[in-house]
Amino acid sequence: TLTAPAPFADETSCQCQAPHEKLTIAQARLGTPVDRPVRVYADGIFDLFHSGHARALMQAKTLFPNSYLLVGVCSDDLTHKFKGFTVMNETERYEALRHCRYVDEVIRDAPWTLTPEFLEKHKIDFVAHDDIPYSSAGSDDVYKHIKEAGMFVPTQRTEGISTSDIITRIVRDYDLYARRNLQRGYTAKELNVSFINEKKYRFQNQVDKMKEKVKNVEEKSKEFVYKVEEKSHDLIQKWEEKSREFIGNFLELFGPDGAWKQMFQERSGRMLQAFSPRQSPNSSPTRGRSPSRSPSPPWVFSKASPPSSPKAASASLSSMSEGDEDEK
């Protein structure tokens, strides 16, 4: 586990214990003893240290089974002379390399062109760099003599990211970064911004704040309307379900074949039975001959048919007398 940054070469006494003998790439790939790691060197400017730098160092570190990675970082004087102005100064670039997990040792103020004396001093076995010819300091390829000596091992560049690309983004979006830093408390003098541009940037910041507030209000309003619509939909759905349930219960109780009609029929039948009990059947012995009843005499007039006139009454009496005589 890494618990400390990589040491500087001029502050460490770390040296190979075994005699430094020249290795071939084939020997290095087979593996070396623990006390004789393959010493691989990678150099660069490493301005605005990014993932492309880290990936190149990872490749250099893993070229061989047992390797020790030394990284040379050029000073500000050499860099400004041969390449151009940097964003980070040399101290910042040194520290960035020290905190990369693949780096075992950092060499400050590294030479622009590698010399045999430098290689011998640091006991470097191989130099790792991408294979694209690097023209600088009047040379078509500063690594040409390293390649001829059989000490060069190529690495692959990471496409899509470089220090130049990052700087290009900053230059392209300069106004946005200037406005952002003004908001964060930087002064116009620190940003090298004129008085007029400062006022313009601050006004634009105010406009953006108002737009953001309006946007937030619109989003909250949309969210509120959405919640109301969602709740109303749920409420309507619940009303529909309850109304169906109510109608179904009503039909079960008061429908054509509902429970209320059956209950009413049963109660009405009981009431009719209570008010008009059923008569005895005709075959009943008590109905055929009742001891309490005697046949009415023929002279008794029926209430249902009273005589309509005196003549009719006398005629009926004469007929009744005749009938009595015949019976005698």
Q: Decide which of 15 and 103 is more confident.
A: 103
Q: Can you tell me the distance from the alpha carbon of 29 to that of 85, in angstroms, rounded to the nearest whole number?
A: 39
pLDDT tens, position by position, 275-327: 666 555 555 555 444 444 545 554 444 444 455 445 454 555 455 444 444 44
d(CA 143, CA 152): 8
CATH number of the domain to which 81 belongs: 3.40.50.620
pTM for this predicted structure: 0.61
Q: Would residue 306 count as lying in a domain?
A: no
pLDDT for 300: 46
**Percentage of the chain lying above the pLDDT 90 cut:** 39
Residue 209 pLDDT > 70: yes
* C-alpha neighbours within 13 Å on the C-beta side of residue 51: 4
Domain extent, residue 85, equals 25-155
Q: How many of the other CB atoms lie within 10 Å of CB of 205?
A: 14
In a domain, 178, yes or no: yes
Asked if 48 and 167 count as a contact pair (C-beta separation under 8 A), the reply is yes
d(CA 131, CA 153): 8
The answer on 121 and 37 residing in a single domain is yes
Element (DSSP H or E) covering residue 44: strand 38-44
Pick from 66, 74, 65, 82: nearest CA to 45: 74
Write the DSSP symbol of residue 136.
B
Which of these three, 259, 278, 304, is where a domain ends?
A: 259
Q: Are 39 and 151 in contact (CB under 8 A)?
A: no
The pLDDT, as a whole number, for residue 141 is 87
Please check whether residue 298 lies inside any domain of the structure.
no
Verify that 86 and 109 share a domain, yes or no. Answer: yes
Among residues 125, 155, 185, the one where a domain terminates is 155
pLDDT score, position 67: 94
Kindly state whether residues 134 and 167 are assigned to the same domain: no
Whether 112 and 177 share a structural domain = no
Q: Tell me if 285 is assigned to some domain.
A: no
Q: Where are the alpha helices (DSSP H) in the chain?
A: 25-30, 51-61, 76-82, 90-98, 116-121, 144-148, 163-172, 174-183, 188-191, 195-254, 259-275, 285-288, 310-327
Same domain, 140 and 226: no
- What confidence score (pLDDT) does residue 86 get? 95
Q: Is residue 1 part of a domain?
A: no
Whether 94 and 139 map to the same domain: the answer is yes
Same-domain status, 227 and 135: no
243 and 218 within one domain: yes
Tokens of 52: 């492309």
Per residue in 177-192, pLDDT (tens digit) is 898 898 889 998 988 8
Q: What is the pLDDT of residue 227?
A: 79
Mean confidence (pLDDT) of the chain: 81
| pLDDT of 304 | 45
The confidence score (pLDDT) of residue 302 equals: 47
Q: What is the DSSP letter of 161?
A: -
Q: How confident is the model at residue 137 (pLDDT cuts 50, 70, 90)?
A: low
Given a contact cutoff of 8 angstroms between Cβ atoms, the answer to whether 57 and 69 are in contact is yes
Is the C-alpha dihedral spanning 74, 76, 81, 87 positive or negative? Answer: positive
Handedness of CA 171, 175, 179, 182 (dihedral sign): positive
Report if residue 317 sits inside a domain.
Answer: no
Rounded Cα–Cα distance for residues 261 and 254 (Å): 7
Q: Which two tokens stand for residue 73?
A: 């970082």
**How far is residue 209's CA from residue 199's CA, in Å, rounded to a whole number?**
15
196 and 238 co-located in one domain: yes
Q: Burial of 36 by CB count in 10 Å (0-12 exposed, 13-18 middle, 19+ buried)?
A: middle
Q: Domain check: are 125 and 167 in the same one?
A: no
Residue 113's pLDDT band, with cuts at 50, 70 and 90, is very high
pLDDT-based confidence at 266, cuts 50/70/90? Answer: confident
Is residue 52 one of the residues assigned to a domain? yes
**Cα angle 139, 142, 147; round to 5:** 125
Question: In this structure, are 144 and 63 located in the same domain?
Answer: yes
- Domains identified in the chain, total number: 2
Four-point Cα dihedral 156, 160, 164, 169, nearest 10: -170
Whether 32 is covered by a domain: the verdict is: yes
Same structural domain, 142 and 105: yes
The kind and range of the H/E element at 126 are strand 126-130
Instruction: Tell which of 230, 259, 288 closes a domain.
Output: 259
CA gap 71, 107 in Å, rounded: 6
pLDDT at res. 22: 80
Cβ count within 10 A of residue 75: 18
